[in-house]
Amino acid sequence: MSDSSALDVTYVASLARLDLTAEEAARFQEQLGTVLTFVETLSKLDVEGVEPTAHPAPVLDCLRDDVAGECLPREAILHNAPDSALDQIRVPKVVEDA
């Protein structure tokens, strides 16, 4: 599989609707060969008994506990609102009449 000529970069680029110059195609062909060689090396590793992981390190829950706290007074909230009426915040209408 290390033979990078097995995959035609120009053909794959056309499938992706990429217009590559000959120089770009040659450079990508070489880079693809390097990647495929690396993948071939990885495929030779013995991973028997190694469990698959989504993260290389344990991911801990980084959220704080949801604890109720003191609320702002209604007057302060309404004072910061752009428009209010009847002790409520007024917002623009988002649903049109049918």
Distance CA 49, CA 58 (A): 19
84 part of a folded domain: no
Domain containing 29 equals 4-43
24 part of a folded domain: yes
51 part of a folded domain: no
54 part of a folded domain: no
34 part of a folded domain: yes
94 part of a folded domain: no
Q: How many domains does the chain have?
A: 1
10 part of a folded domain: yes
Distance CA 97, CA 83 (A): 22
- Our CA angle for 34, 37, 40, nearest 5°, is 155
User: Which pLDDT value is given to residue 21?
Assistant: 92
Q: Which residue has the tokens 């995959």?
A: 7
The continuous run of DSSP H or E covering 40 comes out as helix 22-43
Pairing, β 88-89 against β 84-85: antiparallel
How do residues 22-79 score in pLDDT, each as one tens digit? 999 999 999 998 998 999 998 999 989 888 888 788 777 778 888 899 999 999 999 9
- How large is the average pLDDT for residues 85-98? 87
The continuous run of DSSP H or E covering 12 comes out as helix 9-15
